[in-house]
Copies of this chain bind each other. A is one copy, B any other.
Amino acid sequence: MSFQNPVFIPGPTNMPEVLRKACDMPTIDHRSPLFGKILNPCLDGVRKVLKSETAKVFFFPSTGTGGWETALTNTLSAGDTVLAARNGMFSHRWIDMCQRHGLDVRILETPWGQGLPADRYEEALKADTGHRIKAVLATHNETATGVRSDIAAVRRALESTGHPALLFVDGVSSIASMDFRMEEWGVDVAVTGSQKGFMLPAGLAIVGFSEKAMKATATAGLPRTFFDVRDMGKGYDANAFPYTPPVGLLNGLKLSLDMLFEEGLDNVFARHHRIAEGVRRAVSAWGLELCAVSPDLYSDTVSAIRTPEGFNATNIVTRAASEYGMAFGVGLGEVAGKVFRIGHLGSLTDAMMLSGLATAEMVMADLGLDIKLGSGVAAAQEYYRHGSGKAKKAAA
């Protein structure tokens, strides 16, 4: 196992070596002032990535799933009603978590491949004249289907109905890779993790709480200690954690943020778009279709690609791993066997992406799909290459 090929799972992503080296820290005294010099730039930097001036940012040694639980348990009480659309595996799992925590979930069932139905959110909010709905859940980027939804539209649904519910957004596979505007979109809790756009190992839940969400912590009845944002916040006031912090990961996050800002967030987003668009052109050249039903929904971090009827898409992932040492993502839940996924987020170059597309072509050809070798690569190359007149610089 030589770990030479890049991975194309939709997270954890390929990690830049400098970030891995920053994570690989010797032990320091996490109660010493040194820790504050690692923690505080992380808090400031994540706030900037979330595009919020006022959000409280928290890090938990956990994952995105822990981030969801942080959102729920710090703001809600058993029996509270929440509104959520289910349009993929990750929105499904968050709904399941709500139910297991004794929340009453009004579910907007939505075909997988479609975006969040802002109109149906609005309808449901309008109908909730008693304001029983305490929180609205929205998955910004459905990692299972490669669908990016319009969070601003969900906010407009809340505004047009004058509904006071909190807005919780799962940005696990979008934040730091695609534009996310916590303040402008009125997001009350934003959730992500270390292992996607931040290009780090898994192990950190990263959440942002609006002032309104922070207020809700005073009345929230769900039990929590590990994920309690008030304890965590008190810790931060003393440059500390309420328990042992994952110092190395935070040190990596500090450098990750430096790298993102040095490249420029807009450039980071543009790079993700460029690489993703190349993948989409390859898919089109192959004669295949995305799970996402329309271009406005196309995710720049992951593409779920439908394979022909009767073909088990999971075989592509299995064979790519066993024969070519390359990792793609399988279809999950409703689309298991129907799609395979190419993750194209985090630290990637055009050349790396082309190696993924070229390998996918070999696998599909091996498996008898009618794919012309080189066809998708050529379509992506045509998009990626720098025309003589163009001044585009590749991400080195």
Q: Is the CB of B18 within 8 A of A26?
A: no
A1-26 contact mask (Cβ, 8 Å, vs B): 1 or 0: 11111110101111111101101111
Residues 211 to 245 of chain A near chain B (Cβ within 8 Å): 222-228, 242-245
- Are B12 and A100 closer than 8 Å at their CB atoms? no
Q: B327 contacts A351, CB within 8 Å? A: no
Q: How far is the CB of A229 from chain B (nearest CB, A)?
A: 13
A101 is an interface residue with CB less than 8 A from chain B: yes
Task: Write the nearest CB–CB distance from A192 to chain B, whole angstroms.
Answer: 12
Q: Shortest CB–CB separation between residue A14 and chain B, in angstroms?
A: 6
For residue A193, which residues in chain B have a CB less than 8 angstroms away from its CB? 244
Instruction: Determine if A167 is an interface residue (Cβ-Cβ < 8 Å).
Output: no
- Given contacts A69-B226, A244-B64, whether A7 and B29 have CB atoms under 8 Å apart is yes
> A244 touches which one: B12, B325, B358 (CB < 8 A)?
B12
Contact of A81 with B by CB under 8 A: no
Assess whether A197 is interfacial by the CB under 8 Å rule: no
Decide yes or no whether A382 CB sits under 8 A from chain B. Answer: yes
For A351, give its contact among B356, B373, B375 (CB under 8 Å). Answer: B356
Question: Which chain B residue lies CB-closest to A32?
Answer: B321
A3 near B20 with CB under 8 A, answer: no
Say yes or no for A326: interface residue by CB 8 A criterion. Answer: yes
CB distance from A269 to the nearest CB of B (A): 17
Set of chain B residues within 8 Å of A384, measured between Cβ atoms: 362
A65 to B374, CA, bound (A): 41
Q: Within 8 Å of chain B (Cβ to Cβ): is A288?
A: no
Q: Which residue of B lies closest to A94 (CB)?
A: B225
Residues in B whose Cβ lies below 8 Å from that of A244? 11-12, 63-64, 193, 195, 202
Residue of B nearest to A346 (CB): B27
Q: B-facing mask of A355-396, CB < 8 A → 1, else 0?
A: 110110110011110001111011101101111100011111
Q: Would B4 and A27 count as touching, CB distance under 8 A? A: no
Cβ–Cβ contact B16 & A4, under 8 A: yes
Selected contact of A201 from candidates B69, B247, B395, CB within 8 Å: B247
Q: Chain B contacts of A108 at CB under 8 A?
A: none
> Across the interface, do A4 and B354 meet the contact criterion of CB distance under 8 Å?
no
Question: Which B residues are in CB contact (< 8 Å) with A228?
Answer: 100
Within 8 A of B (CB), among A16-56: 16-18, 20-21, 23-32, 34
- Chain B residue at minimal CB-CB distance from A356: B351
Is the Cβ of B356 less than 8 Å from the Cβ of A385? no
Whole-angstrom CA separation of A96 from B223 in the bound complex = 12
Interface residue from B97, B324, B385 paired with A362 (Cβ < 8 Å): B385
Q: In whole angstroms, how far apart are the Cα atoms of A321 and B325 in the complex?
A: 27
Contact indicator A61/B203 (Cβ below 8 Å)? yes
Residues of B within 8 A of A260 (CB): none
With beta carbons under 8 angstroms apart, the residue of B227, B358, B368 that contacts A354 is B358
List 5 interface pairs A-B (beta carbons < 8 Å), by A numbering.
Answer: A1-B396, A323-B394, A324-B394, A325-B349, A374-B374
Besides A4-B352, A9-B29, A324-B349, 7 more A-B contacts (Cβ < 8 Å) are A62-B66, A64-B243, A97-B225, A226-B227, A354-B358, A374-B379, A377-B378
